[in-house]
Chain A
């Protein structure tokens, strides 16, 4: 990441959550100097006057989440970016993560020669193409090697082989992670055609939120609006039509408890589906560093092959595998709390849901392969 890029990202992702802090909105409180009584008085004055003002969260419009076709989606362009930029919630359904598809298509249409900015998706594509070129050269090189083994190598072949060897070495020594600038070849004809077609048919990207994300934003932060009560949202997420049928190891409840745990510790938590785990933990967020930890919620029974496969996949992408054991309340305790939740009504949903989540406990362990020959000295 270049320096300019980094500063841009610092500003873009300044807030760790899509939540407006009062001191950001009304200005920060003055410094307190222990020796100076005036500073105390001034602080108190500012403090009290701040509390006389309305809470920013209560006067600002909240991003709107809709439940459509079984998915939680955000369609307003500004809301999408707000939720993604501040805490990295959701995923653009036509992008790898950040919802950039709309703006990139627009740019492509506007610029006649397709000199658009290179999106992360295109960077990946370019890297794959480079890898393909490497493989092509390698195949040719090995064909010549075979000829050599068969003893039918001509003088021209020898020259070509030497040239190929040098090229391959150059490829290998290049740091494959760094790709310098966009290349013309990365412009895909098909994509452009599709882009113009898509815009004509007004195809539009939306931000899709996972159940855990929506629930956290609505229940824990109350920083989004959704057209249903908290109880309805809870049932929808848990995949039940009546709360009475929720079991202690309900998948959503387990995932939410773990999601909430790491969110409340300031981690950026994203889906771990690509690495066979439940979540990935990023220290600050996607553009700043790779995810460091892969979180796997332990099922009641886990087979050795499953856990070994997971461990190899996760360490293969240089992440730390954290096994999370969730201790659950017994059915009877849960049933009582669920009953209270339903009975006490709208104004107490949040409190009663909290009472349920508090019955769950998490226990973390690191699981990593250990090699005798590598730990000796």
Chain B
């Protein structure tokens, strides 16, 4: 019988607890000199007839103007200049500098050994809008300069500087989808993510992964197979024999559960076997199913690979993306059909990172200062949980890990495949996570659970007090 004390339940923090409302600009004013992010106050429910509320709003507005009025500038040493090339629909940066090109731009080689970086429409507008890039409109004299050996070019004298709205028009006029993409790109970028346009995987990538630690693998396999054999003899064989006897008995009668009067004639020996026999409805996971969808005709395609901020990102050799984004404009398309989702997920990368519980590791430290009171309570609970866990027997510890893993997989996906839908409606942007889940735990998810506690009926959530 399962002792409920052994099973420690940790409820997850809910994403929706974060209110995504408009910032109060006063916060900026007050916190300019401190690292502590102030807490939001309680909202008033309705106007109270005094001028206190109006004054609060005025103060906030004032703070906003004040913040916006602060002169913005850059050191002329860091000035970044680009020239918009109409024919290419890209901007050329001849002297790239600064931190922006870690994930932006593509190397450009022009004329006689002239190097630079091409920025696409979206990247150009993003950098210009945040005030990091001065964009000029290219003309014939600039093209001549590019083809010549001249070292200097008088941007200010020869070219026209573009206003932001002019640049918007040039960049996005032909394809309205680009504007949608820009909204998504800019929001993620401002949140610190590293972004690359998604290109469908190529064959060669698959080959690369197989070679490295072959010998290591062999020893691993040998070690594992010994323990498997041992287990097979002493634990599993009796079980299998028991079950086979039963199966033989059933097949001798040549009947299945799905015939009438089955229960009047057949002994059921455990709830586990009853549940197993009740399985009737076929299920499949989205990405590997019997039906292949019409791949490239679907309007739902992955647009971006994105990564959490990291110090050594390489554009040429990026690691597996942390998330993949599909942009959906609700004015144009409806909620995806199962075929579309199937297609999306079959192109998605499998994330192999284990889901991290909020507050369990580094997060506690980072948050520690700001919300001292609630945090200590949380930490205390966390500590108590750890203490209790350490007191458990080895089996109970394993079982706790096992059950938690199983719950996590059902909450965050069993295969590790997921796609973010960036849902746009008239400029309002929301992200939704769509993850593949399989409540029957097949394939890779079964292996993951077998690695913790092997040969259990993982898919049967509760099979009564008696363990099979």
Report A-B touching, CB under 8 Å: yes
Interface positions of A (Cβ within 8 A of B): 6, 10, 14-17, 19, 21-23, 28-29, 32-34, 43, 47, 50-51, 53, 55, 57-58, 146, 149-150, 220-223, 257-258, 260-268, 281, 283-285, 288-289, 292-293, 298, 301-304, 307-308, 311-312, 315-316, 318, 320, 322, 325, 327, 346-351, 354, 357-358, 360-377
Most buried by B among A221, A261, A363: A363
Does B448 touch A at the CB level, under 8 Å?
Answer: no
Contact B275 A264, beta carbon cutoff 8 Å: yes
A310 to B9, CA, bound (A): 26
Contact B285 A362, beta carbon cutoff 8 Å: no
Picked from A15, A292, A351, the residue with its CB within 8 Å of the CB of B271 is: A15
Q: Tell me the chain B residues, 324-377 only, with Cβ under 8 Å from chain A.
A: 330, 334-335, 338, 341, 362-363, 366
What are the residues of chain B within 8 A of A316 when measuring CB–CB? 16
Contact A265 B50, beta carbon cutoff 8 Å: no
User: Known contacts A16-B271, A264-B278, A368-B432; can you find 12 more A-B pairs with CB under 8 A?
Assistant: A19-B274, A29-B242, A50-B267, A55-B265, A257-B281, A261-B439, A267-B462, A365-B435, A366-B433, A372-B193, A374-B18, A377-B308
In the assembled complex, the CB of B320 is this many whole angstroms from the nearest CB of chain A, namely 16
Contact B260 A17, beta carbon cutoff 8 Å: no
Closest to B338 in A: A325
Contact B462 A268, beta carbon cutoff 8 Å: yes
A284 to B465, CA, bound (A): 11
Contact A367 B260, beta carbon cutoff 8 Å: no
Shortest Cβ-Cβ A-B pairs, 8 listed: A22-B267, A264-B278, A354-B258, A266-B460, A325-B338, A370-B431, A32-B238, A266-B461
Closest to B431 in A: A370
What are the residues of chain A within 8 A of B245 when measuring CB–CB? 47
Given the known inter-chain contacts A262-B439, A350-B259, A368-B432, please indicate yes or no for A363 contacting B285, CB distance below 8 A: yes
A76 to B206, CA, bound (A): 64
Does B241 touch A at the CB level, under 8 Å?
Answer: yes
Picked from A51, A263, A301, A375, the residue with its CB within 8 Å of the CB of B334 is: A301
Contact A267 B461, beta carbon cutoff 8 Å: yes
Closest to B418 in A: A366
What are the residues of chain B within 8 A of A223 when measuring CB–CB? 263
Does B425 touch A at the CB level, under 8 Å?
Answer: yes
What are the residues of chain B within 8 A of A372 when measuring CB–CB? 187-188, 191, 193, 431
What are the residues of chain B within 8 A of A346 when measuring CB–CB? 260
Stretch at the interface among B209-217, B221-229, B409-417: B409-417
Does B463 touch A at the CB level, under 8 Å?
Answer: yes
In the assembled complex, the CB of A312 is this many whole angstroms from the nearest CB of chain B, namely 7
A257 to B283, CA, bound (A): 11
Most buried by B among A267, A285, A366: A366
Contact A322 B15, beta carbon cutoff 8 Å: no
A373 to B15, CA, bound (A): 10
What are the residues of chain B within 8 A of A369 when measuring CB–CB? 15-16, 430-433
Picked from A258, A351, A366, the residue with its CB within 8 Å of the CB of B258 is: A351
Contact A260 B15, beta carbon cutoff 8 Å: no
Contact A366 B435, beta carbon cutoff 8 Å: yes
What are the residues of chain B within 8 A of A357 when measuring CB–CB? 280-281
Does B323 touch A at the CB level, under 8 Å?
Answer: yes
* B170-199 near A? 1/0 per residue, CB < 8 Å: 000000000000000001100111000000
* B399-437 near A? 1/0 per residue, CB < 8 Å: 000000001001111000010100101000011111111
Picked from B16, B263, B280, B436, the residue with its CB within 8 Å of the CB of A57 is: B263
A322 to B413, CA, bound (A): 10
Contact A363 B338, beta carbon cutoff 8 Å: yes
Does B88 touch A at the CB level, under 8 Å?
Answer: no
What are the residues of chain A within 8 A of B52 when measuring CB–CB? 149
Q: Please name 25 pairs of A and B residues whose Cβ atoms are closer than 8 Å in the assembled complex, sorted by A.
A: A6-B4, A10-B4, A15-B271, A16-B463, A16-B464, A17-B271, A23-B269, A34-B238, A55-B266, A57-B263, A58-B264, A58-B265, A220-B278, A263-B278, A264-B275, A318-B14, A325-B338, A360-B282, A361-B282, A361-B284, A368-B433, A369-B15, A369-B430, A370-B323, A377-B363
Does B309 touch A at the CB level, under 8 Å?
Answer: yes
What are the residues of chain B within 8 A of A22 when measuring CB–CB? 267-269
Given the known inter-chain contacts A284-B462, A373-B18, A377-B366, please indicate yes or no for A365 contacting B341, CB distance below 8 A: yes
A63 to B348, CA, bound (A): 50
What are the residues of chain A within 8 A of B407 when measuring CB–CB? 292
Contact B259 A322, beta carbon cutoff 8 Å: no
* B311-325 near A? 1/0 per residue, CB < 8 Å: 000000000000100
A264 to B274, CA, bound (A): 9
Closest to A358 in B: B280
Contact B238 A320, beta carbon cutoff 8 Å: no
Contact A363 B283, beta carbon cutoff 8 Å: yes
Closest to A316 in B: B16
Closest to A143 in B: B48
Does B167 touch A at the CB level, under 8 Å?
Answer: no
Contact B462 A283, beta carbon cutoff 8 Å: yes
Contact A361 B278, beta carbon cutoff 8 Å: no
Q: Tell me the chain B residues, 229-276 only, with Cβ under 8 Å from chain A.
A: 233-234, 237-238, 241-242, 245, 249, 258-271, 274-275
Does B279 touch A at the CB level, under 8 Å?
Answer: yes
A283 to B425, CA, bound (A): 37
In the assembled complex, the CB of B101 is this many whole angstroms from the nearest CB of chain A, namely 21
